[in-house]
Structure 1
Amino acid sequence: MTGSRYFAEAMRGYGVTHLFYMNTILLQGMEEIGKVGVKKVVTHGEKAAAYMADGFARASHRPGVCLAQDIGSTNLAAGLRDAHMACSPVIAITGGQSDQARYRHAYQNAEDFTAWDGVTKANYNVETVARFPDLLRQAFRAATTGSPGPVHLELRGNSGQVLDGEADLSLELEERFTHFPAFRQETDRSAVKAALALLGQAAKPIIVAGGGVVSSGAEGEVVKLAELLSIPVATSLRARAVIRDDHPLAVGVTGTYSRWCANRAVAAADLVFFIGSRTGGMVTNAWQVPKLGTPAIQLDIEPQELGRNYPNKVSLLGDAKVALQQLIETVEAAGKQPRREAWLKEASGYVRDYWAECEALRNSDAVPMRPERICKELGEWLPAEATLVVDTFHAAIWTTQMSRFQRPGQNYLPCAGSLGWSFPATLGAKAALPDKPVIGFCGDAGFYYHMAELETAARLGLNAVMVINQNFAGGVRDKYGYDKSINFAKVADSMGCVGLRVDKPSGIRSALEKALAAGRPAVVEIISDAEIKAKRGWAPGSSGG
């Protein structure tokens, strides 16, 4: 069997439905892919391919696969930074060096293999076709086990010609590693008892749910444990949809891109239970909320994360869903639990005051529109089972602060920091979820990065809706001032998509409805006020809230 045929059969065997890539890579392999029913998504840039694979992985809980030839390798690697920060299992396959070209100043040639080390869990060089099967299997294992993350395979030859060769290749696939989490590890039962004892003694405990809850699919378990123990729930940005905003125990997103009510509740707690959270700078507002030294319990799948930033009173090593089920079973067997009425009243009071403070801005009829009103309308319209994919900075801040998730099955996929990620990631998520609504949200600066992928969306029928907060500013901190004659809606129309422009609040919902029903990829461009600045996270000693 040729390596190219093996590649195609392995992709099908691992349940890969889409390959996101820039031409030209694996010429014979792509011919074979056409025979096995895997869809080829040819993009206009390597970073866009990586972002699409990332969005696909996060939406589907299956590894996303992206590819590029040797000269595009570092462009693809740059796109993997977001997947690395978000613990997203993306497998990147690139061309690489060959013996004849190495060290001879060959055209388009550079020694860049080590550039992948900082953005992947594992970085493998495939020197012979005979090694491709076992290294590909290892790539899927590494990507889906423990805390998920990206893996890179560099194939010999600038477009991976090593796979053109033949060898005695046996198609051995491992179904366990077609999705994540690949394993579900129980935690130590003595640690379960110790954690529950601490939670029982605390007067003002709080749960902070992180991205590991989403990776594990443990949203229901978080809510059930919180209800059993009468504990408020704050979330990280990535775990935004773990608990609905209308749940009485929900206090919102905590950290930097956050609601002040959540930060106030976390700061007031006497015990913080971090679940699937790496306790990084974003979720803690640079380790101010909670303050360092606050008593903590932490549950995580990675042992080196336990106590990294907040020394733990109890550490729980295990899969979030399974470990929470162990906690729930123990609580239910124990019977009656403390109700903590005073603490719940305090936490819900923060939430009540937060929304009261925001009410006027969220209902403003001002023109140009306020982002608060845009995101209120987006949240109230967002259908059940919809996925909202958002860019970094203001896109994440506004949707976190001003949109409310109140329908079943809603999902939130935030950028981990790379401006421009959201539009390609939205298309990747739509590839993973063809029968569900997928909505992207970004600003004008973010959309300009990968606007060419409108053609990709139209060509492949990736019928997502992209909402653009258009203020022609290119970012509020340093207002560059983009050309106001540019009309993204018309650009979308010219590239085979549906383009809608909205300049008044009353037109937002009808435009969103038309876009979703269009049967084509759609752009909803909403004109907003560039002078409005989003509030960053509250911290002890700051004003407001």
Structure 2
Amino acid sequence: MTGAEYLSRALDAYGVSAVFLVPTSLSATLVTMERETEIKRIVTHGEKAAAYMADGYARATGRPGVCMAQNIGGANLAAGLRDAYLGCSPVIALTGGPYEYSRGRNYYQEIEDFPLFKPVTKSSRQVLDAQRLPDQLDQAFRDATVGKPGPAHLELAGHTGDTVENQTISAELPAPQPRSVPGMRVAPDPAAVARAARVLREARRPVIVSGGGVRASGASSEVVALAERLGAPIATSLNGKDTVPGDHPLAIGVPGLYARASANEIILEADVVFYVGSQTGSQVTLTWQVPPTSTQIVHLDIEPTELGRHYPNTIPVAADARLGLAALLDALSDADPSRTADWVARTRELGCRWRDRLADRLDSEAEPIRPERLASELGRLVPDNAIIVADTGHAGMWTGGYLDLAKPGQGFLRAAGSLGWGLPAGIGAQIARPDAQVVVFTGDGGLFYHLAELETAARWKVPLVVVVNDNRSLNQEINPYTVAYGGSLGGRHHELWHFEDLDLSRVAESLGVTGIRVTRPQDLEPAIARAVAMNGPVLIDVVTDIDALAPKGSAQRATV
């Protein structure tokens, strides 16, 4: 068969249901997909958007998302993999590369893109001959799904990959078997489990932090069961936000930078913090201040190099989250949750204080609308099968601190740092999960990055809902610009963060998407109900307060 026939059939066997691309890339492969598979071929308006859609697809399913670009688009595709790499998302990137005769000869549009993929992938390889396509493709899928997930890249010879796809090869097709995360489950060392169990059993003020690894492992029920057995309050990273029901009695919210203030206060009082499936990076720990690096840590993660990386006083357990938690549940079968009753009461008190301090904003009837109310209402109003896809910056802060998801079927995906990720990632997630209702939460600043992808959603009739926190600005930049101007905004500061006051619902309509504009808090509920009931993409333009700034996390301890 040809390389194109092998590639399309192999992707089908691996369980790929959609690929995302900017033409022209792997043209013969795409034609073979149409003739022999049910794989959707989603043409986007930019390579970064294609990578973000593949990323959203991967995070929504746990199966690798596939994106493609020709040689000239390689640099843009590599830039789009940054978020997948930071967010530990299994994405397969396929790009073209130089011809043998063209390399280094000032060929039109040709540069050496291959080195750009090294810092944003787990592996990046060149396929110069179609005979190597079977083993290299298989290895890319294994790299993306085994251990800590992440992107893998293959550069196929020929500007559009045509050298490889047009060659003839003799190879066995892989057996039909969807590839997914976790690609391999690693059981823990019993001795490590015993050490961790002893520390957790003796803790007087334990806190569990459930990370994205819990989500990837499908270990939500196990981490909640362990919290209940220990009587331990349980926080989540943003990547793990949907691993713990927001209304669980032990849930304390998201700590760190994009945080709920009371979650930081609670962790600062803990005597043991147990991280599960978390890299303990700067965001979830507020640059390693919450908790301080002197704190006793228990750390369970599938990636051994993360264990003790930031906290020297760490009891490490290298394992898949589900298997590791199951082993700890067995080891802690005699744990008495009543011994931490006073600690649990204290954490609830701090949580109630936080809500009381914010009650006037959460229930505000102000116009323009307060984002605190928008985010909290969103959690209450989305359907039971909703997947919230949150952009970074203020969108991540508002949803991290103020949005709760309580239904078992609800999910949460968040940008790992790339503003504008939300819309294309949401499209990819909705294509991957037609059984779910994807709701994107972004700001107008984030929306503008890939606004043209609304046309992609309209063209494919992708039934997602996009909720825009429209404050006519990049107002998250107010604080840094205030500092830069010497303590108070002056001069022509508005040039640096103000936008035109646009009706984004009309912009959406011009791109084939139903638009709804909301200016009053009481109109949020009917707008979301209407959007969810429609079978097609809908954008809800929510006019919010330009002066409302999301609070960043603090390392301040609570008063007694």
Same fold (TM over 0.5): yes
Please give the alpha-carbon distance, in whole angstroms, between the structure 2 residues aligned to 1:175 and 1:218: 26
Helix, strand or coil at the partner of 2:284? coil
Please give the alpha-carbon distance, in whole angstroms, between the structure 1 residues aligned to 2:162 and 2:314: 54
Helix, strand or coil at the partner of 1:289? coil
Aligned to 1:267: 268
- Deviation track 1:261-312 (CA, whole Å, cap 9, x = no partner) reads 1101111101111111111000000110000111111001011111000124
- Deviation track 1:5-50 (CA, whole Å, cap 9, x = no partner) reads 1111011111100000000001111110111111000000000000
The amino acid of 1:501's aligned partner reads R
- Deviation track 1:85-122 (CA, whole Å, cap 9, x = no partner) reads 00000000001111111111111011121110000000
Counting only pairs closer than 5 Å after superposition, residues 190-209 of structure 1 correspond to structure 2 as 190-209=191-210
1:421 CA displacement: 0.2
Q: Does 1:283 align with 2:275?
A: no
Q: Does 1:532 align with 2:532?
A: no
Contact 2:236 2:254 in 1 (8 A): yes
Please give the alpha-carbon distance, in whole angstroms, between the structure 2 residues aligned to 1:164 and 1:55: 27
1:544 CA displacement: 9.6
Root-mean-square deviation (CA, aligned residues, Å) is 1.5
Please give the alpha-carbon distance, in whole angstroms, between the structure 2 residues aligned to 1:349 and 1:359: 15
1:466 CA displacement: 0.3
Aligned to 1:390: 390
Moved more, 232-241 or 338-347: 338-347
- Deviation track 1:396-437 (CA, whole Å, cap 9, x = no partner) reads 111122222222221110100000000000001001111211
Aligned to 1:481: 498
Aligned to 1:516: 532
Counting only pairs closer than 5 Å after superposition, residues 321-470 of structure 1 correspond to structure 2 as 321-332=322-333, 334=334, 336=336, 338-470=338-470
Aligned to 2:237: 236
- Deviation track 1:369-416 (CA, whole Å, cap 9, x = no partner) reads 111111121111022121000000100111122222222221110100
Instruction: Could you tell me which runs of 5 or more consecutive residues in structure 1 were left unpaired when the two chains were aligned.
Output: none
The amino acid of 1:40's aligned partner reads R
1:496 CA displacement: 1.6
Helix, strand or coil at the partner of 1:34? helix
**Per the alignment, do residues 319 and 189 of structure 1 end up closer, same or farther by CA in structure 2, a change over 3 Å counting?**
same
Please give the alpha-carbon distance, in whole angstroms, between the structure 1 residues aligned to 2:238 and 2:33: 37
Aligned to 1:45: 46
Please give the alpha-carbon distance, in whole angstroms, between the structure 1 residues aligned to 2:71 and 2:240: 36
- Deviation track 1:453-484 (CA, whole Å, cap 9, x = no partner) reads 11111111111000001111123324522111
Counting only pairs closer than 5 Å after superposition, residues 221-260 of structure 1 correspond to structure 2 as 221-260=222-261
Moved more, 157-166 or 76-85: 157-166
The amino acid of 2:212's aligned partner reads G
**Per the alignment, do residues 544 and 101 of structure 1 end up closer, same or farther by CA in structure 2, a change over 3 Å counting?**
farther
Aligned to 1:214: 215
1:495 CA displacement: 1.7
Helix, strand or coil at the partner of 2:209? strand
Please give the alpha-carbon distance, in whole angstroms, between the structure 1 residues aligned to 2:420 and 2:314: 40
Aligned to 1:500: 516
1:335 CA displacement: 6.2
**Per the alignment, do residues 344 and 164 of structure 1 end up closer, same or farther by CA in structure 2, a change over 3 Å counting?**
closer
Contact 1:476 1:530 in 2 (8 A): no
Aligned to 2:32: 32
The amino acid of 2:498's aligned partner reads G
1:540 CA displacement: 3.0
- Deviation track 1:35-80 (CA, whole Å, cap 9, x = no partner) reads 1111000000000000000000000010000000000001000000
Contact 1:200 1:338 in 2 (8 A): no
Moved more, 398-407 or 135-144: 398-407
Helix, strand or coil at the partner of 1:462? coil
Aligned length: 542
Contact 2:128 2:164 in 1 (8 A): no
Contact 2:15 2:178 in 1 (8 A): no
Aligned to 1:2: 2
Contact 1:88 1:149 in 2 (8 A): yes
Helix, strand or coil at the partner of 2:155? strand
- Deviation track 1:322-358 (CA, whole Å, cap 9, x = no partner) reads 11011112222x3655531111111111111111111
Please give the alpha-carbon distance, in whole angstroms, between the structure 1 residues aligned to 2:164 and 2:125: 15
Contact 2:127 2:164 in 1 (8 A): no
Aligned to 1:319: 320
1:177 CA displacement: 6.6
Please give the alpha-carbon distance, in whole angstroms, between the structure 2 residues aligned to 1:112 and 1:184: 34
Contact 1:211 1:236 in 2 (8 A): yes
The amino acid of 1:212's aligned partner reads G
The amino acid of 1:100's aligned partner reads Y
Please give the alpha-carbon distance, in whole angstroms, between the structure 2 residues aligned to 1:173 and 1:50: 25
The amino acid of 1:72's aligned partner reads G
Contact 2:9 2:173 in 1 (8 A): no
Percent of paired sites with the same residue: 43
Counting only pairs closer than 5 Å after superposition, residues 170-189 of structure 1 correspond to structure 2 as 170-173=171-174, 178-189=179-190
Moved more, 175-184 or 135-144: 175-184
1:168 CA displacement: 3.3
Please give the alpha-carbon distance, in whole angstroms, between the structure 1 residues aligned to 2:301 and 2:165: 42
Please give the alpha-carbon distance, in whole angstroms, between the structure 2 residues aligned to 1:522 and 1:257: 27
Helix, strand or coil at the partner of 1:203? coil
Please give the alpha-carbon distance, in whole angstroms, between the structure 1 residues aligned to 2:474 and 2:137: 41
Contact 1:137 1:174 in 2 (8 A): no
Helix, strand or coil at the partner of 1:483? coil
Contact 1:144 1:177 in 2 (8 A): no
The alignment's TM-score, normalised by the length of structure 1, stands at 0.97
Please give the alpha-carbon distance, in whole angstroms, between the structure 2 residues aligned to 1:299 and 1:52: 30
Helix, strand or coil at the partner of 2:328? helix
Aligned to 2:95: 94
The alignment's TM-score, normalised by the length of structure 2, stands at 0.95
Contact 1:498 1:518 in 2 (8 A): no
The amino acid of 1:297's aligned partner reads V
**Per the alignment, do residues 311 and 338 of structure 1 end up closer, same or farther by CA in structure 2, a change over 3 Å counting?**
farther
Please give the alpha-carbon distance, in whole angstroms, between the structure 1 residues aligned to 2:88 and 2:42: 23
1:249 CA displacement: 0.6
Instruction: Could you tell me which runs of 5 or more consecutive residues in structure 2 were left unpaired when the two chains were aligned.
Output: 479-493
